[in-house]
């Protein structure tokens, strides 16, 4: 089960709204959604949580690039909404490399076998089982730890959040009362 909320800072404090992510397919879509909720290009926080598995915070300040923190990258990678937050840059991958490889593999049979023929496997002695998988997603937190530091939540506090992280984040940034109105 997912929960998503927007916290938009205004001159009068914070405004909160729960939000549907059904039409959000990319980080750009999510950023646009946050900017639409912004008043005078002030800060908007987008909070996404998959119950007891992971949470993510996306901070959008005006036209700046979004700043992202994800509590558990490997858990988020198994989630459609989590995949939106885990950018190539965040994961240390060459941007678009995965798409290019997939497109090439569709065009050409790159494994050197005929259709229907099994792929050859390397003998156990020739395999490097200790080699890191370049597509592996690290377990644990990833992203910008200081995403909320100037709003009242330190990096250390962010790293220690477990259950009900949204309530603690809202409390730290001063939005607890408005958040309760949408939960």
pLDDT band at 17 (very low <50, low <70, confident <90, very high): confident
pLDDT band at 98 (very low <50, low <70, confident <90, very high): low
Q: Dihedral through CA 27, CA 33, CA 34, CA 40, nearest 10?
A: 140
pLDDT band at 34 (very low <50, low <70, confident <90, very high): very high
Q: What pTM did the predictor assign?
A: 0.77
Note whether 21 and 8 are within 8 A (CB). Answer: no
Q: Pick left, alpha or beta for residue 32 (phi over 0 → left; psi -120 to 50 → alpha; otherwise beta).
A: alpha
- In the DSSP assignment, the letter for residue 162 is B
Query: Quick count: other Cβ atoms within 10 Å of Cβ 109?
Result: 10
Q: What is the pLDDT of residues 113-169, one digit of tens each?
A: 555 555 555 555 555 555 555 567 888 999 999 999 999 999 999 999 977 898 899
Q: In this predicted model, which residue has the larger pLDDT, 113 or 6?
A: 6
C-alpha 177, offset from chain centre: 26
Q: Which residues pair with 143 in a beta bridge?
A: 69
**Residue in 83, 84, 105, 87 with CA at minimum distance from that of residue 96:** 87
pLDDT band at 106 (very low <50, low <70, confident <90, very high): low
Q: Quick one: the chain helix, strand, coil %, rounded to 5?
A: 35, 20, 40
pLDDT at residue number 134: 52
Look at residue 103 and tell me whether its pLDDT is greater than 70. no
Q: What is the pLDDT of residues 40-95, one digit of tens each?
A: 889 999 999 998 899 999 999 999 999 999 999 999 999 989 999 998 888 887 76
pLDDT band at 27 (very low <50, low <70, confident <90, very high): very high
């Amino acid at each position: 089960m997912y929960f998503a909320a927007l916290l938009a800072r205004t001159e009068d404090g914070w405004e909160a709204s729960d939000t549907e992510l059904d039409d959000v397919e990319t980080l750009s879509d999510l950023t646009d959604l946050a900017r639409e909720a912004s008043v005078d290009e002030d800060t908007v926080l987008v909070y996404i949580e998959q119950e007891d598995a992971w949470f993510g915070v996306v901070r959008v300040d005006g036209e700046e690039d979004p700043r992202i923190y994800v509590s558990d990258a490997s858990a988020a990678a198994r989630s459609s909404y989590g995949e939106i937050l885990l950018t190539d840059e965040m994961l240390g991958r060459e941007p678009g490399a995965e798409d290019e490889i997939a497109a090439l593999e569709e065009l050409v049979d790159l494994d050197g076998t005929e259709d229907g023929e099994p792929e050859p496997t390397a003998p156990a002695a020739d395999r490097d089982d200790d080699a890191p998988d370049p597509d592996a997603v690290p377990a644990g937190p990833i992203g910008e730890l200081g995403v909320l530091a100037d709003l009242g939540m330190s990096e250390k506090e962010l790293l220690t959040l477990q259950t009900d992280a949204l309530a603690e984040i809202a409390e730290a940034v001063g939005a607890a009362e408005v958040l309760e109105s949408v939960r």
